Chains A and B, each alone.
Chain A
Amino acid sequence: DAGVTQSPTHLIKTRGQQVTLRCSPKSGHDTVSWYQQALGQGPQFIFQYYEEEERQRGNFPDRFSGHQFPNYSSELNVNALLLGDSALYLCASRTTGTGVGETQYFGPGTRLLVL
Chain B
Amino acid sequence: AQSVTQLGSHVSVSEGALVLLRCNYSSSVPPYLFWYVQYPNQGLQLLLKYTSAATLVKGINGFEAEFKKSETSFHLTKPSAHMSDAAEYFCAVIPGGTSGSARQLTFGSGTQLTVLP
Q: How far is the CB of A37 from chain B (nearest CB, A)?
A: 8
- With a CB–CB cut-off of 8 A, which chain B residues contact A66? none
- With a CB–CB cut-off of 8 A, which chain A residues contact B45? 106
Q: How far is the CB of B92 from chain A (nearest CB, A)?
A: 8
Does residue B7 face the partner (Cβ distance < 8 Å to A)?
A: no
- With a CB–CB cut-off of 8 A, which chain A residues contact B106? 45
| Bound-complex Cα distance A9 to B101 (A) | 28
Interface size for chain B: under 10, 10 to 19, 20 to 34, or 35 or more residues? 20 to 34
Interface size on A, residues (CB 8 A): 28
What 9 additional pairs, Cβ within 8 angstroms, besides A40-B109, A55-B101?
A42-B110, A43-B44, A100-B98, A101-B49, A101-B51, A104-B46, A104-B105, A105-B46, A109-B43
In the bound complex, do residue A100 and residue B94 qualify as a contact, i.e. CB atoms below 8 Å apart?
Answer: yes
- Interface residue ranges of A34-77 to B (CB < 8 Å): 35, 40-45, 48, 50, 55-56, 58
Q: Please, what's the 1-or-0 string for B91-117, where 1 marks a CB less than 8 Å from any CB in chain A?
A: 010100011011111111110000000
Q: Which residues of A contact B (CB under 8 A)?
A: 4, 31, 33, 35, 40-45, 48, 50, 55-56, 58, 90, 92, 96, 99-101, 103-109
Which B residue's beta carbon lies closest to that of A45? B104
| Bound-complex Cα distance A54 to B36 (A) | 25
Q: Please, what's the 1-or-0 string for B45-64, where 1 marks a CB less than 8 Å from any CB in chain A?
A: 11001111000000000000
| Bound-complex Cα distance A44 to B1 (A) | 14
- With a CB–CB cut-off of 8 A, which chain B residues contact A92? 44, 105
In the bound complex, do residue A100 and residue B46 qualify as a contact, i.e. CB atoms below 8 Å apart?
Answer: no
- With a CB–CB cut-off of 8 A, which chain A residues contact B107? 42-44
In the bound complex, do residue B44 and residue A50 qualify as a contact, i.e. CB atoms below 8 Å apart?
Answer: no
- Interface residue ranges of B73-92 to A (CB < 8 Å): 90, 92
In the bound complex, do residue B101 and residue A96 qualify as a contact, i.e. CB atoms below 8 Å apart?
Answer: yes
